[in-house]
């Protein structure tokens, strides 16, 4: 399946608009180049693949998830799971650090975060945007496992 890089429509190879363009001569033989474009808008196309979640067609070089599906995956649960797999180190007051275990500190921070809904939304977007390709691939893998 093919997808137009301009209009985003989907079509098969046989329905592309094709022609031969005159490229002059090569060793005395007339030379033509096979040209083909999107049948709808006449622009370039590329190979298409399906979004791993909803199955809609996207460009082969895109991430494995379409934009709509990706937006729905910006959730606190996903971010917490990714954060769990990718622990971060911070420097905090040594005395305070000695008062709590790492699990307790996680819990305290999560509670503080959930009490501040505006911060949650911003935090999710910032965390996902920090490495969107990683986020998209992680979500894709999660979906594949769930099936
Ligand atoms: Zn097109
Ligand atoms: Zn999708």
Distance 50 CA to ligand 2 centre (A): 8
Query: Is residue 44 pLDDT above 80, yes or no?
Result: yes
Lowest-confidence segment of 20-34, 55-69, 78-92 by average pLDDT: 20-34
Average pLDDT, the chain: 93
pLDDT of residue 137: 92
Q: Please, what sign has the CA dihedral across residues 123, 55, 86, 112?
A: positive
Confidence of residue 99 (pLDDT cuts 50, 70, 90): very high
Distance 74 CA to ligand 2 centre (A): 14
Confidence of residue 28 (pLDDT cuts 50, 70, 90): confident
pLDDT of residue 21: 87
Across 5-108, where does the E strand assignment appear?
10-11, 17-26, 29-37, 45-50, 57-59
Q: Is 47 helix (H, G, I), strand (E, B) or coil?
A: strand
* pLDDT tens, residue by residue, 108-141: 999 999 999 999 999 999 999 999 999 999 999 9
Residues with CB under 5 A from ligand 1 (ion): 4, 6-7, 38, 40-41, 43
pLDDT of residue 12: 96
pLDDT of residue 74: 93
Distance 132 CA to ligand 1 centre (A): 27
pLDDT of residue 23: 87
Question: CB 136: neighbour CB atoms within 10 A?
Answer: 21
């Amino acid at each position: 399946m093919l997808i137009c890089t301009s209009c985003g429509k989907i079509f098969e190879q046989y329905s592309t608009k094709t022609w031969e363009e005159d490229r002059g001569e090569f060793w005395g033989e007339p030379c033509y180049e096979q040209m083909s474009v999107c049948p709808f808008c006449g622009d370039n196309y590329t190979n298409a693949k399906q979004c791993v979640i909803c199955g809609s067609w996207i460009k082969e070089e895109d991430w494995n998830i379409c934009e709509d599906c990706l937006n729905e995956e910006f959730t606190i649960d996903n971010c917490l799971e990714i954060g769990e797999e990718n622990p971060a180190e911070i420097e905090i007051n040594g005395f305070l650090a000695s008062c709590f275990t790492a699990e307790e500190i996680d819990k305290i921070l999560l509670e503080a975060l959930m009490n501040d809904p505006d911060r949650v939304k911003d935090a999710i977007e910032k965390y996902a945007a920090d490495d969107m390709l990683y986020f998209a691939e992680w979500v894709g893998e999660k979906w594949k496992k769930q099936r």
